[in-house]
């Protein structure tokens, strides 16, 4: 009997968990750790969303199995969001499915549409589910750059010319987690045209659709002409409405892909708890001031972080969107590598960040910094970092 199972052998240790374990141990020992590692919103959702959850949970009929694809009202609310935000028309019955967060949606889609040996094009660095969701499904990953410049298009064309078997799926994620890079509508049109020409499905992760800054809204791939012929897009309520633990997300777009995802999900789950889905309806259909408040909150934190870390001796590139900054290791620390630097920063400065290598080989030399602490704590982190940099730089 083998000591390791087939799929487990294909998964490396979750690098991000290593620093998380150190952070937990430090807190257990009574240390004050400023956690800029995990992208966990630090504010609750608006009260009317919580009230709707409680109201529906009081109903005796609300505690049975729900609908795996999502209750009709929630699918309609998501279709209305796409219409008002992006000008995209969706059929709630066959072009929208509710997922338990975008992460579950992506992994279930990977199970639905890939076979062992299929080749998937995924960005590096990228959020782990973009690659490991497909690896778990038995596919093989060919990396393409995350940065959307000409190297990106050269990598796509090279993959199609020299990979056997030819890739069947392309994953895109903008605003990017972890790099916070953004793209414009012209980029998505080029992706759609390329995908049609090469007979490739496109999966777009738009989890940070509403966390854009400086008055520059993020586009959707479904705004591109012909996008619904080849593309599905995943969104999440986690960051937009501070509902991370509620696990509410959506997949929308190409009806064939949505049908495949819906069928697989029907075997795997009975849908999210009905009161949570009802509360998600309240979020999408109710007052939207929380969306702008969250956007302003993260933008202000971004500005404070860039300014205070810069004065501490660590220049942070200004993210155009998302709740993350993607920062090169400071001068004098590049020799450490991102994992060791993250450990040293936690140990000596009491600041937790996520090692870039946890997001793929191309993430080495960087760390991801989450803007999930208030401005006072961010400034405290900067003071701690300034001392650390002065004492430990080589």
* CB 219 within 8 Å of CB 184: yes
pLDDT at 1 over 70: no
| Per-residue pLDDT reduced to its tens digit, 283-304 | 999 999 999 999 999 999 999 9
pLDDT score of 40: 83
Structure tokens at 280: 């998600």
At residue 3, the pLDDT reads 65
CA 307 to the chain's CA centroid: 25
% the chain with pLDDT above 70: 97
pLDDT for 2 beyond 70: no
Is residue 317 over pLDDT 70?
yes
Pairing of strands 324-328, 249-253: unpaired
Residue 80 has pLDDT above 80, yes or no: yes
Quick check: 14 pLDDT over 70? no
Tell me, what's the pLDDT at 13? 63
pLDDT at position 61 over 90 = yes
Q: In this structure, are residues 281 and 66 in contact, taking their beta carbons and an 8 Å threshold?
A: no
Residues contacting residue 147 through CB under 8 Å, at least 6 positions apart: 179, 181
Dihedrals phi, psi of 126, to nearest 5 degrees? -155, 165
pLDDT in tens, 219-233: 999 999 999 999 999
Q: What is the mean pLDDT of the chain?
A: 93
Q: Is the pLDDT of residue 20 over 90?
A: no
Residue 253 contacts residue 88 (beta carbons within 8 Å): no
Q: Which class for 13: exposed (0-12), middle (13-18), buried (19 or more C-beta within 10 A)? A: exposed
Closest-CA residue to 219 (of 196, 186, 194): 186
What is the side-by-side strand order in the sheet with 119-124?
Answer: 96-99, 249-253, 231-236, 201-205, 169-173, 119-124, 140-145
Q: Decide if pLDDT at 184 tops 80.
A: yes
pLDDT for the residue 219:
98
Q: Of the ranges 22-26, 48-52, 78-82, 140-144, which one carries the lowest mean pLDDT score?
A: 22-26
Question: Can you read off the two tokens belonging to residue 186?
Answer: 């012209």
| Closest to 141 measured CA to CA, from 157, 125, 159, 119 | 119
pLDDT in tens, 236-259: 999 999 999 999 999 999 999 999
Helix-strand-coil split of the chain, %, nearest 5: 50, 15, 35
Burial 199-229 (b: 16+ CB within 10 A, else e): ebbbbbbbbbbbbbbeeeebbbbbbbeebbe
pLDDT of residue 134: 94
Give dist(CA 247, CA 237) in Å, integer.
8
């Amino acid at each position: 009997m083998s000591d390791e199972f087939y799929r487990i052998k294909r998964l490396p240790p979750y690098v991000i968990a290593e620093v998380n374990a150190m952070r937990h141990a430090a807190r257990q020992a009574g240390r004050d750790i400023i956690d800029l590692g995990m992208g966990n919103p630090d504010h609750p959702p608006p009260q009317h969303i919580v009230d709707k959850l409680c109201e529906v949970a009081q109903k005796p009929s609300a505690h049975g199995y729900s609908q795996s694809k999502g209750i009709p009202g929630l699918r309609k609310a998501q279709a209305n969001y796409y219409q008002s935000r992006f000008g995209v028309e969706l059929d709630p019955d066959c072009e929208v499915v509710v997922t338990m967060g975008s992460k579950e949606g992506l992994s279930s889609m990977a199970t639905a549409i890939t076979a062992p040996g299929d080749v998937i094009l995924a960005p590096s660095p990228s959020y782990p589910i973009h690659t490991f969701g497909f690896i778990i499904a038995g596919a093989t990953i060919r990396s393409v750059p995350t940065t959307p410049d000409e190297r990106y298009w050269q990598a796509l064309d090279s993959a199609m010319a020299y990979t056997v078997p030819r890739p069947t799926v392309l994953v895109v994620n903008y605003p990017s987690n972890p790099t916070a890079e953004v793209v414009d509508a012209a980029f998505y049109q080029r992706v759609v045209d390329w995908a049609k020409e090469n007979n490739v499905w496109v999966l777009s992760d738009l989890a940070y659709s509403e966390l854009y800054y400086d008055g520059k809204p993020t586009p959707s791939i479904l705004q591109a002409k012909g996008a619904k012929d080849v593309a599905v897009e995943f969104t999440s309520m986690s960051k937009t409405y501070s509902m991370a633990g509620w696990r509410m997300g959506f997949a929308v777009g190409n009806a064939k892909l949505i049908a495949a995802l819906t069928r697989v999900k029907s075997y795997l789950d009975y849908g999210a708890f009905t009161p949570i889905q009802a509360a998600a309806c309240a979020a999408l259909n109710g007052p939207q001031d929380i969306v702008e408040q969250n956007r302003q909150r993260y933008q202000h934190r971004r500005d404070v972080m860039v300014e205070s870390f810069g004065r501490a001796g660590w220049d942070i590139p200004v993210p155009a969107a998302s709740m993350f900054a993607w920062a090169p290791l400071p001068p004098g620390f590049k020799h450490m590598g991102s994992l060791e630097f993250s450990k040293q920063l936690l140990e000596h400065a009491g600041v937790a960040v996520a090692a870039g290598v946890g997001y793929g080989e191309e993430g080495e030399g960087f760390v991801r910094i989450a803007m999930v602490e208030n401005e006072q704590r961010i400034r405290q982190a900067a003071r701690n970092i300034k001392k650390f940099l002065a004492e430990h730089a080589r």
